[in-house]
Amino acid sequence: MQPKRLQALVDLLEMSGLWEPDNEQTRLNGRAATPEELSLIHTPDYIAAVQRLSIPEKAEMSEEERGERAQLAARSGFGDGDTPIIPDMHEIVTHITGDTLVALNAVMGLAEGGTFNAEGERPFHVFHPAGGWHHAWAERASGFCIYNDIAVAIAHVLRESEAKVLYIDFDAHHGDGVQRAFYDDPRVMTISFHETGRYLFPGTGDVLELGKGAGRGYSVNIPLEPFTEDDS
């Protein structure tokens, strides 16, 4: 939620020669995700709650209204230090999710994937530094994550094609929201490298979390000890 962090990353990419800002072919035009796209993963009640909580409290609100708002926030996973309520968060994260979908469509060659008309013009990969909100659940926020752009994108692939998806997550924290969304789906394999949940949020990602039903065996977790380095 801090644009200056993204700008610092973009500046670093430019300085290192990994990105040419003047080359139009290296950029995609973003957009906001639609309510229908968000609903591929998130419940209507949760989306409505995020929209309502995105509007700042008014000074003239009654104690009853403040109490109802606090209850709504608690039910939806907001209000603690890990997932605070932020003004305009619905609009912000809806755009982040839409950008993830645009990036995915470009790589997959699906509709709205930029101006890549031929197979050889499509990018092999797209870098989206604002994406990766892998903790959000269908019905609640978690770990600073409001809408799960990754899960929405995967669900979009499953709906628009017959492809199978391999999702690889490299993060100190286990990608519990993505795993949870597809835990029983054999079309999606999730592989997560993360620090063990014995001490670290969200406390999940054990090697025995293998999936369930038809999806058993399609959830792979590789928990690492704290301070694990490349040569460990």
Provide the pLDDT for residue 76: 97
DSSP codes of every residue in 155-178: HHHHHH-S--EEEEEESSS--HHH
Provide the pLDDT for residue 21: 74
Provide the pLDDT for residue 206: 98
Provide the pLDDT for residue 1: 66
Please pick, among 90, 135, 173, 174, the residue that the annotation labels catalytic.
135
Provide the pLDDT for residue 112: 66
- Report the chain (232 residues): mean pLDDT per 10 consecutive residues: 83 87 76 97 98 90 92 93 91 97 88 57 84 97 98 96 95 98 99 96 98 98 93 76
Q: Where are the domains of the chain?
A: 3-163, 164-232
- Around Cβ 96, how many Cβ atoms within 10 Å? 21
pTM for the predicted model, two decimal places: 0.91
135 catalytic per annotation: yes
Report the C-alpha gap between 230 and 193 in whole angstroms: 13
Is 232 buried (19+), middle (13-18) or exposed (0-12) by CB count in 10 A? exposed
Second CATH level (architecture) for the domain 3-163: 3-Layer(aba) Sandwich (3.40)
Report the C-alpha gap between 149 and 95 in whole angstroms: 10
